[in-house]
Amino acid sequence: MNDHGNLKDFMEETRTLVKDWVETTVNIQKLKLVKIGSKIAGNLVWMIILLFLFSLFIIFLGVTAGYWLSELTGSYVKGFGIVTGIILLKIILLFLFRKKLFIEPVMRKMIRAVIDEPDTK
């Protein structure tokens, strides 16, 4: 009877320990997901801010180039038309190379954020 009692106590302790281990493991995985999600969200916010600032830079650069070319050509229509043509050419090139320039790098960065996390055991 004594052996049976010890086995019963052992099984109950083991069940409690396994339950605690599973809960801890689940919590660790949740925290890893939160860390990865927050890292991706932070990078996304940074990219949006960078895109906004870059857009402002391009706008002012285009206006400056438009006025400069207008002075060289003697016509606002020709100067700003040339700048518009250059911007349109850039948009077409970005559209054609969007996969190589934007989609694949973002996918690699997201995959790296998920895979490169060191396991804490």
Model-level pTM?
A: 0.60
User: Helices 2-73 and 76-96, interaxial angle, to 10°?
Assistant: 150
Q: Quick one: tokens of 97?
A: 């190379």
What's the chain's Rg over C-alpha atoms? 30
Q: Between 53 and 113, where is the model more confident?
A: 53
In one-letter notation, the amino acid at residue 4 is H
Alpha carbons 74 and 5: distance in angstroms, whole number: 102
Angle between helices 2-73 and 104-115 (to 10 degrees): 150
Q: Tens digit of pLDDT for each residue in 55-82?
A: 999 999 999 999 999 999 999 999 999 9
- CA-to-CA distance for 92 and 76, rounded, in angstroms? 24
